[in-house]
Amino acid sequence: MSAIVNGRAGFILRIVVVILVAAASNIWIADVSATLAGRAGSPSIWVGVGALALLIGGFGTAYWWLYLSPIPVQVTPNNTPSARQMRRRVGLVMILGSLMLGTAGAWDGLWHIWKGGFGDDFLWPPHMLLYGSFLIDAAVAGLVLGRVVIGKGDPRVRVRQEPALGIAALASAYLICSLPSDVVWHQIYGVDITPWSLPHVLIMVMSSVVAIAATSLLLTSQEPGKRSRVVYAGVVILMACAIWTALLLVTSEYEWGNLPAGMPFWMRPGWVYPMAVMIVGLIGSLLVLHLTERPGSATLAALLVLGGRLLFILAASTLPISRSMIIASHLFMIVPAMAVDAYYAWQLQQKNPISARQRGLRAGIVYGVVYWPLAVLVTSLLKIGPVPTLQDFLVGLGIGLAILVLFAVDIPVIASGLRRAEST
Cβ–Cβ contacts within 10 Å for residue 261, how many?
7
Q: Which of 278, 283, 292 is nearest to 408 (CA)?
A: 283
**What are the backbone dihedrals phi and psi of residue 220, each rounded to the nearest 5 degrees, phi first?**
-85, 0
Q: CA separation (Å) from 177 to 8, 52, 90, 203?
A: 29, 10, 20, 10
Which DSSP state fits 190?
-
Name the 3-class secondary structure at 351: coil
pLDDT for residue 308: 94
Q: How far is 271 from 268, CA to CA, in rounded Å?
A: 8
Q: Is 124 left (phi over 0), alpha (psi -120 to 50) or beta?
A: beta
Cβ–Cβ contacts within 10 Å for residue 107, how many?
18
CB of 285 closer than 8 Å to CB of 259 = no
- Total of domains in the chain: 1
Q: Which of 347, 328, 336, 329 is nearest to 299 (CA)?
A: 336
Alpha-carbon Rg for the chain, nearest whole angstrom, is 22
pLDDT for residue 311: 93
pLDDT for residue 209: 87
Q: Tell me, yes or no, whether 8 lies in a domain.
A: no
Q: How far is 217 from 129, CA to CA, in rounded Å?
A: 24
Burial 140-149 (b: 16+ CB within 10 A, else e): bbeebbebbe
**What are the backbone dihedrals phi and psi of residue 341, each rounded to the nearest 5 degrees, phi first?**
-60, -45
Angle, alpha carbons 18-215-336 (nearest 5°): 55
Which DSSP state fits 68?
I
Half-sphere exposure of 415 (CA within 13 A, CB side): 23
Angle, alpha carbons 348-349-354 (nearest 5°): 55
User: What is the maximal distance between C-alpha atoms in the chain?
Assistant: 67
Q: What residue type is assigned to position 279 of the chain?
A: I
Q: How far is 267 from 253, CA to CA, in rounded Å?
A: 13
Q: How far is 71 from 287, CA to CA, in rounded Å?
A: 31
Q: Tell me, yes or no, whether 405 lies in a domain.
A: yes
Q: How far is 188 from 43, CA to CA, in rounded Å?
A: 8
pLDDT in tens, 96-149: 999 999 999 898 888 878 876 555 556 678 888 988 898 898 888 888 778 777
Q: Tell me, yes or no, whether 6 lies in a domain.
A: no
Q: How far is 225 from 229, CA to CA, in rounded Å?
A: 13
The domain in which residue 204 lies consists of 14-420
* Sign of the torsion formed by the C-alpha atoms of 357, 363, 369 and 372: negative
Give the residues of the chain that fall short of pLDDT 50: 1-4, 422-424
Q: Tell me, yes or no, whether 111 lies in a domain.
A: yes
In sequence order, which residues have a C-beta less than 8 Å from that of residue 28 and are 6 or more positions away?
22, 196
Q: CA separation (Å) from 229 to 236, 290, 305, 416, 417?
A: 11, 16, 20, 19, 21
pLDDT for residue 351: 79
CB of 129 closer than 8 Å to CB of 43 = no
pLDDT for residue 38: 52
Q: Tell me, yes or no, whether 235 lies in a domain.
A: yes
Q: Tell me, yes or no, whether 4 lies in a domain.
A: no
Q: Which of 300, 355, 352, 302 is nearest to 331 (CA)?
A: 302
End-to-end CA distance of the chain: 26
Q: CA separation (Å) from 49 to 8, 17, 62, 199, 203?
A: 24, 19, 20, 9, 14
